Amino acid sequence: MTSTFAPELGIGASDPQQSSTLISRAVRGEHVARRPLWVMRQAGRILPEYRALKEKHSFLELSRNAELAAEVTLLPFRHFDFDAAITFADIMSPLPALGVDLDFAPGPIIAEPIRSRAQVERLADPDALDVDQIAPEVYLCQKLVRSELPKHRALLGFGGAPLTLAAYLVEGRGVRDFPQLRAFMRAEPEAFSLLMDKLTRLVARYLIEQHRSGAEAVQVFDSWAGLLELKSWRALVRPHLLRLLETLGEAGVPRILFLHSAPQLVEEFAMLPCEVLAVDWRTDLGQLRERHPNLVMQGNLDPAIMLAPTDIVRQHVRALLASLPAQGHILNLGHGVLPNTPLESLHALLDEVHKEQQA
Ligand code: 1CP
């Protein structure tokens, strides 16, 4: 598969603004024959081909090699007729550009967690970098994928929201409720703000370049959005997230904003500038749509339902479809697909969503 990529390089990087894929129509809130569907974390985890690749290569090897990453990005289409490909990378991929020593085991591991102002100051200034110093393999992967992907399928890029990236950088790894982060932001508010500022500028450049490389829209993952109560979030976090979204908007990059496990923030996120709001399964999507009729929404089947027998999966997909109109809805799970999800559950999900068109 990889050898056919090179001659086509760049040809497929069509103007994403002109795209008429189901996903881009849905992102713009236009009428769709049926709602588009993709699945968070569809590229890795669940696929036998991915597991075979993982026997030979580490996650870092796969994600830092553009040709291998492109191959993994395209793997789901051997099994499923999803409407979008999600670039195979990680939210942490751009951080080495700041001078961060990063490994995965399997989640992110930071060699020297950031706990002081001096450490924050030592991180590179994102604006002083050449954009090709910020995870260039990701842009190359996207150009390769775009040249292979049929025109009717969208390519999505992604990055981490500043708070979610800061959580790993300060804590050093994924830890329940990230207490070191919550201590640092209170003990060293200025250093925390400087860290958030650097992450915001880094991710903005990274995502704009992904759009230029063929990603029709980008998803900003705020997986740990819910760590704070509303008042602290507004004071310490919101200004940075707002700036990231505004910078992307000014650059014409369509934005899907995902928040996870943050019921206290759903209404706040619904007011932020983005084309699509993606929420986890804890939020009733039909009710959210009633409160925000003009907002496009993505989600939000509970990934755990996919572990149940397929008739239960079908029942819940049908209930979700019935809970809000097709226009302005991108169907997805409410969080990443669980590693032990049977492939039949995904086939059942696709089948129910595709039935809508025939109805
Ligand atoms: O389909 C795909 O897998 C697409 C590529 C992708 C995406 C979108 C990967 C590959 N990671 C992500 C996003 C990501 N990474 C998020 C946001 C989504 C979410 O909330 O799940 C987060 C929080 C991370 C951080 C991360 N990286 C974790 C989470 C666990 C923790 O410790 O907090 C993990 C396990 C990783 C490593 C990673 N990233 C991707 C893969 C396939 C892996 C596993 C590597 C392995 O199996 O060795």
Which numbered atom of ligand 1 lies nearest the CA of 168?
A: 33
Residue 19: its pLDDT value, please?
75
Q: How far is the CA of 107 from the centre of ligand 1 (A)?
A: 7
Q: Closest residue (by CA) to atom 6 of ligand 1?
A: 90
Residue 314 lies in a domain: no
Q: Closest residue (by CA) to atom 28 of ligand 1?
A: 107
Q: Provide the residue-wise pLDDT of the chain in tens; the chain has 359 residues.
A: 333 333 333 333 445 455 789 999 999 999 999 999 999 999 988 999 999 999 999 999 999 999 999 999 999 999 999 999 999 999 999 999 999 999 999 999 999 999 999 999 999 999 999 999 999 999 999 999 999 999 999 999 999 999 999 999 999 999 999 999 999 999 999 999 999 999 999 999 999 999 999 999 999 999 999 999 999 999 999 999 999 999 999 999 999 999 999 999 999 999 999 999 999 999 999 999 999 999 999 999 999 999 999 999 999 999 999 999 999 999 999 999 999 999 999 999 999 999 988 66
What φ, ψ does residue 95 adopt, rounded to 5°? -70, -35
Q: How far is the CA of 90 from the centre of ligand 1 (A)?
A: 6
Residue 67 lies in a domain: yes
pTM above 0.85, yes or no: yes
Residue 109 lies in a domain: yes
- DSSP for 15-80, please give it: -GGG---HHHHHHTT---SS--B--TT-SSTT-HHHHHHHHHS-HHHHHHSHHHHHHHHHGGGGT-
Residue 331 lies in a domain: no
- DSSP for 218-272, please give it: EEEEETTGGGS-HHHIIIIIHHHHHHHHHHHHHTT--EEEEE-S-GGGHHHHHTS
How is residue 332 annotated by DSSP?
E
Q: How far is the CA of 138 from the centre of ligand 1 (A)?
A: 15
Cα–Cα distance for residue pair 281/288, rounded to 1 Å:
12
In degrees, rounded to 5, the angle at the alpha carbon of residue 270 between the alpha carbons of residues 264 and 273 is: 130
Domain interval for residue 44: 38-279
Which numbered atom of ligand 1 lies nearest the CA of 42?
A: 1
Q: Which two tokens stand for residue 4?
A: 């056919």
Tell me the pairing of strands 296-301 and 329-333.
parallel
Which of 90, 261, 282 has most ligand 1 atoms within 8 Å of its beta carbon, as the pocket-test mutant?
A: 90
Positive or negative: CA dihedral 166, 168, 171, 177? positive
Residue 150: its pLDDT value, please?
97
Residue 4 lies in a domain: no
Q: How far is the CA of 294 from the centre of ligand 1 (A)?
A: 31
How is residue 125 annotated by DSSP?
P
Terminal-residue alpha carbon distance, the chain: 37
Q: Closest residue (by CA) to atom 38 of ligand 1?
A: 107
Q: How far is the CA of 20 from the centre of ligand 1 (A)?
A: 29
Tokens 């002081």: give the residue.
116
Residue 20: its pLDDT value, please?
86
Residue 28: its pLDDT value, please?
96
Tell me the pairing of strands 255-259 and 217-222.
parallel
- Long-range contacts (CB closer than 8 Å, 24 or more residues apart) made by 289-292: 289/324, 289/325, 289/328, 289/329, 291/267
Which numbered atom of ligand 1 lies nearest the CA of 45?
A: 42
The domain tally of the chain equals 1
How is residue 341 annotated by DSSP?
-
Question: Tell me, what CATH number does 77's domain have?
Answer: 3.20.20.210
Residue 358: its pLDDT value, please?
64
Question: Per residue in 209-219, pLDDT tens?
Answer: 999 999 999 99
Query: Taking the CB of residue 116, how many other CB atoms lie within 10 A of it?
Result: 11
Q: How far is the CA of 44 from the centre of ligand 1 (A)?
A: 9
Q: How many residues in the chain? A: 359
Run of H or E residues at 108: strand 108-110
Residue 44: its pLDDT value, please?
84
**Measuring from each residue's beta carbon to the nearest atom of ligand 1, which residues come in under 6 Å?**
41-45, 59, 86, 88, 90-91, 104, 106-108, 158, 174, 221, 223, 260, 336
Q: Which two tokens stand for residue 176?
A: 């329940």
How is residue 98 annotated by DSSP?
G
Q: Closest residue (by CA) to atom 16 of ligand 1?
A: 91
Q: Closest residue (by CA) to atom 8 of ligand 1?
A: 41
